[in-house]
Amino acid sequence: MLAPTLVLAVPSYARQTHQPCAACHVGGFGPELTPFGRGFKINGYTMKAGNDTKVPLSAMLVESFTHTAKAQTVPPANGFGTNNNLELQQASVFLAGRLNDRMGVFAQATYSENGGLLGWDNADVRYASPFRHGGHNGTWGISVNNNPTVSDAFNSAPAWIYPYMGADLAPGAPAAPMLFGGLGGQSIGATAYVQVDGKLYLEAGGYRSLSVAWAHHVNGPYDGKLSGVAPYARAAYTWKVPHGNLTFGGFLLNMKRGPLGADLSGNTIPVAGPTDNYNDVGLSGDYQYFKGDNIVTVDGLYVHEKQTLNNTYGGGGSSNLHDSLNSLNVKGSYWFRNTYGFTLGQFVSNGSNDQTLYGNNGSPNTQGGILEFDYNPFGQSTSWRQPYVNARFGLQYTYYTRFSGLVHNVDGAGRSASDNNTLYFYVWLAI
């Protein structure tokens, strides 16, 4: 099944606005937004130039190679080996652009060789309108989307956080807070937002589960039915600083999810029973610096999650009724002429010890870092065939200093944390 992917970079927006991709995106193209890109999204994807009536369609393809320091004990997915895997990681089509003067859309469908399915991906339909009150002006809007934080325009939001491309055929942290895609692709929500004077941003709304039948139709995930509405809120404030901007903010997500069962045919269905309750609180920060050919960005996100596992604990799936998870992600990037990029990232995940839930050492504690080099041959506004031709070549190295709470023997079979170190190369094309 397909989880939402970390992508929001479609040439159809550039064709609509008659702007190069670099106007909206740091690094030529990709999900990291410039101030202009943030404004374009907050204003509902509606800005246009002239009377063009192009159909707002785009396509994307990502081919990748994944190598771990030591071969995995079992293949990471059907059809792949224990190491050195080539993969058609994503092939996506997008409906993305202006619908009318106040409405716009971003909707993605993705095929992945890992799973062999074509399914729906991130989706965001929004209405936006400018306003003026007294000495203040801004934009208010409504977003209908299928993943909390997809509607966000800042680069520290979980849906758009670094790494923008990553290996899906390598080991990863055993657990993450629900704000990191826990409802992605299996919920539908509506949020209302406002931005005032380009500084204060507020957003609030709620999410409900989609049906099992819908999840099957769109090849989406289904991990249980939400009990009622899961409230979500976001606040951020942006300051102008020399040659850039600085943003601080926070997130709230509260959700209750019930158990799963099976019908007489063995199909997954929600059943009555106690719920697992999750309360996420997050703090975020973004810094951007633009001067001449040089761009520097720094983003950070900390999320604390409190869990009351009524269903999991009652069914013997956890040792504790109450658990917690913490996640810290920080990255800094430098780009020269939107063509050559270097990124350094650090991540720390930790939480309650729970032998039943996590197995082996009973710990989710995982930490390490990421180094990435990128080359965009068509990253500048004057590049050949802008904005129709876009390519990124990325070489990424992920290293672990601790995995599942341990440095050595992390799986009970002698594997070290560093054996999960991953070299990942990708080619990302968009038209």
According to DSSP, the residues that pair with 124 across neighbouring strands are: 106, 145
- pLDDT(55) > 90: no
Task: Please state the rounded mean pLDDT for residues 198-224.
Answer: 92
Q: Give the separation between CA 364 and CA 314, rounded to whole angstroms.
A: 21
Dihedral, 250, 140, 231, 363 alpha carbons, nearest 10: -30
Task: Please state the rounded mean pLDDT for residues 246-269.
Answer: 86
For residue 259, give the nearest of 267, 248, 249, 271 by alpha carbon.
Answer: 271
Question: Is the four-CA dihedral 205, 208, 213, 219 of positive or negative sign?
Answer: positive
Task: Please state the rounded mean pLDDT for residues 161-177.
Answer: 94
Q: Give the separation between CA 279 and CA 108, rounded to whole angstroms.
A: 29
- Tell me what pLDDT residue 5 has: 42
Query: 19-28, 75-84, 130-139, 286-295: lowest mean pLDDT where?
Result: 19-28
CA triplet 12, 13, 18: central angle to 5 degrees?
100
Query: 186-200, 222-236, 262-276: lowest mean pLDDT where?
Result: 262-276
How far from each other are the two terminal CA atoms of the chain, in whole angstroms?
Answer: 25
- Tell me what pLDDT residue 50 has: 62
Q: What is the pLDDT of residues 312-331, one digit of tens each?
A: 999 999 999 999 999 999 99
What's 13's DSSP letter?
H
For residue 238, give the nearest of 184, 277, 287 by alpha carbon.
Answer: 287
pTM of this structure: 0.92
Main-chain dihedrals φ then ψ at residue 56, nearest 5 degrees: -80, 70
Q: What is the pLDDT of residues 67-102, one digit of tens each?
A: 999 999 999 999 999 999 999 999 999 998 899 999
CATH of domain 11-430: 2.40.160.10
Share of the chain above pLDDT 70, in %: 92
CB count in 10 Å sphere of residue 74: 7
- Tell me what pLDDT residue 385 has: 66
CA triplet 221, 159, 359: central angle to 5 degrees?
55
Average pLDDT taken over every residue of the chain: 91
Q: What is the pLDDT of residues 123-132, one digit of tens each?
A: 999 999 999 9
Centroid of chain to Cα 322: 27
The CA-atom distances, in angstroms, between 111 and each of 3, 118, 119, 170, 413 are 11, 4, 6, 19, 34
pLDDT band at 53 (very low <50, low <70, confident <90, very high): low
Helix (H, G, I), strand (E, B) or coil at 45: coil
Q: What is the pLDDT of residues 360-416, one digit of tens each?
A: 889 999 999 999 999 999 877 777 666 677 899 999 999 999 999 999 999 888 899
For residue 284, give the nearest of 309, 251, 243, 319 by alpha carbon.
Answer: 251
**Tokens found for residue 378:** 């068509």
- Tell me what pLDDT residue 366 has: 97
For residue 272, give the nearest of 310, 307, 320 by alpha carbon.
Answer: 310
Task: Please state the rounded mean pLDDT for residues 7-12.
Answer: 54
CB count in 10 Å sphere of residue 80: 17
- The 3-class secondary structure across 88-140, one letter per residue, is EEEEEEEEEEECCCCEEEEEEEEEECCCCEEEEEEEEEEEEEEEEECCEEEEE
Would you call 212 exposed, middle or buried from its count of C-beta atoms within 10 A (0-12, 13-18, 19+)?
middle
Task: Please state the rounded mean pLDDT for residues 340-358.
Answer: 96
For residue 179, give the nearest of 143, 150, 204 by alpha carbon.
Answer: 150
- Tell me what pLDDT residue 3 has: 39
Q: Give the separation between CA 30 and CA 375, rounded to whole angstroms.
A: 12
User: With b meaning 16 or more CB within 10 Å and e meaning fewer, what string describes 215-242?
Assistant: beebbbbbebbbbebbebbbebebeeee
Task: Please state the rounded mean pLDDT for residues 211-236.
Answer: 92
Q: Give the separation between CA 82 and CA 70, rounded to whole angstroms.
A: 9
CB count in 10 Å sphere of residue 409: 13
Q: Where do the domains of the chain lie? A: 11-430
pLDDT band at 260 (very low <50, low <70, confident <90, very high): confident
Helix (H, G, I), strand (E, B) or coil at 312: helix
**Tokens found for residue 255:** 């959700």
